[in-house]
Structure 1
Amino acid sequence: MRIAFFAPHKPIDHPQPSGDLIIGRTLHDFLKNQGHELLVASDSRLRHITCKPAQWPGLYLEFRRALKRVQEFKPDLWLTYHSYYKSPDLLGPHIAAKLGIPYVIYQGVFATKYRRNFKTWAGYISNKHALLHADHVFANKDRDFRNLSRIIIPEKLSRTYVGIEPDKFQYCAVSAEEIRNKHGLNGEKIILSTAMLREDVKAQSISDLIRAFTPVTKEITQTTLLIAGDGEARPRLEQLAAKQAGGKILFLGRVERDELYKYYSAADIFAYPGINEALGMVYLEAQCAGLPVVAYSTPGPKEAVDQGVTGLLSPEGDIAAMTTNLIKLLSNPSLCEKMGNAATERIKTHFNLTTNLKKVENRLNKVSLWRYS
């Protein structure tokens, strides 16, 4: 297949790492590695563009350029990654219609609450237009699938699953020893967390974790919390950590994704509250390496973690409950091991990237054939 690819929320070559970026990039790269020809139709970022009329003339010019670009490429279909009210696809439906090719959305999102706010109404309408004109939509979250089912017929809607490459996040005993020696943590129980430390819900999640961890140090003295990640909130969070737990919390700075398996291997538990988390690839990576997860029972962790089987979830904002869950796992190594083993198996079964994206590829092949039928 020849595929015109577009990511209106964040271009796949964007420098700022995120779970959404990883999903979009892996989708693009998987299809390319399968032998399909892909053209990035546009690298424009449409985040909040419906609220920025000053950018509309530039968007029109980009539409003309993208149309010419895609016409010359002669694709079999257009594939948009992640359209929702903040970043609706304003190019794909129109260009696909002009060229008479199928239009597909991977990770479509729909929620009627955004039609009730004048600030989000235009984005809601634009995104709904894209969804209704799609020949097929993939939903990779239960909540999105249920919402999309309200406006899209079953034949045009598929429930799919994100995933990781399990081989890249396997437990490694050598790496575990390396990290523990590097940070002088032999004999310590290690809780690992990783996030972008920006001033929003990410920083709030880490703040909650720091506060939940503080009482743990009094119950289980030989315990250290490692936090991987960087951002503008880091100095403030380091001050909070020093005040709350002294030297029991270490900030590692940014750790490249292909190095994270070493830290997962060295840890006993992965903990990240996940306030307003859509999914959280780190939950999948940590479980693949055999770590039980402690988090809030928000949509992202609930999607990635099997409560009571591969981790322990608590209500959002209930810091005391998170503390209890951390202590429960740290004081019960057999439970930790049992959940860690179950976590590894669950990732291999439900969140294997290759298996899940092959199903997407098969559906794309079928959708692309309608133009020739």
Structure 2
Amino acid sequence: MTGRFRHSLGGVALAILTAFGTGAQAQVGGFDSAAPSIYIRDLGTGTVLMNRGADVPLPPASMSKLMTLLMLFEAVEDGRLSMDTTFAVSERAYRMGGSRMFLEPTDRPTTEDLIRGIAVLSGNDASVVAAEGLAGSEEAFAQLATRRAQELGMRNTTIANSSGWPHPDHLMSKRDLAILAEHIITEYPQYYPYLSESEFVWNDIPQSNRVPLLGSGIGMDGLKTGFTSAAGYSLTGSARQGDRRIVFAFGGLDSEAARVREAEAIVNWAFRQFQNVSLGNAGAVMGEAPVWLGASSAVALVLGDSRDVLLPATASRQVEGRIVYDGPIPAPIAAGDQIATLIVDIPDMAPLELPLLAATDVAEGGFRVRAEAAARKLAGMVVGSARDAMN
């Protein structure tokens, strides 16, 4: 005697939702990215603000150096390296083309030097030195990095080298790059400031960070650019304003200037066209569900923890909330059991799905409850049979 029930939110819950002043995206605020592949996510709420071709494995260019940095961070935290550990510069590393830290064969850079050489200067030579120092060879490093990426949920990533040098098997999706960026920001905040340093000098050669808009006042604070003919002008970036932070990854643009414009447009759009709103604190009642053969006929449905949602800032009342469950819910029910889902439908955005929990225990009903339920069921069967006989 179960079925799929959908209850519109009433009372307090409906008032909370409609008070947000939310509206449709078409795109929200009129923004439409110029990038053929792009992924934007709000870290606080987990809301995906834009997803276009984000799961397609594509050449990442130097953005994949974030994986090399992560492997260095993890080695330091594991105690396999210290920030003062020194590395040898191989002939292979020294001969690397493209962007360089300008390491010499006689140099003995430390872990910290290599982190800066990769994070600030995007040094291909520094990346190879790090890979060889960590795994013995760049090929062995690529296998380790690919395995680690899979462990992090980066399902569309295959690492073939440490630098992002063009290789047919070196591929990452934009979603995977955002996953990697978020992991670095949240798990290794002590190292994240290296990615926002404006300049690093090695062998008396000063070079500037290639990440655009650092220090511009819009909250952009780091990660990694990339460019090859296959990848186009690309960027994995993050920005923070107030208590909100976004991460994003895009690629395929045709100029450095277009990359700068795109980054600024993303940051302005994400922070100006969306607002962070509290749906309710832990224990807030969102509705109730009927109970089958229970000591109580219904149970309240509550949020398990405080929940914030990110919604478009345009003023309208086009957001709808509904509670979905298989019911009536059979007793016994334990407080804290997830027995329903709150679905918030927002035009032109993916629905938000939030678990709802039973607010209280509901024991099985006694003999009287079961007898009354059996009588109601029998009466329903009799009425149904009578109707069938009349047809």
| TM-score computed with the length of structure 2 as normaliser | 0.23
- The structure where helix makes up a greater share of residues is 1
* Structure index of larger Rg: 2
| TM-score computed with the length of structure 1 as normaliser | 0.23
- The structure where strand makes up a greater share of residues is 2
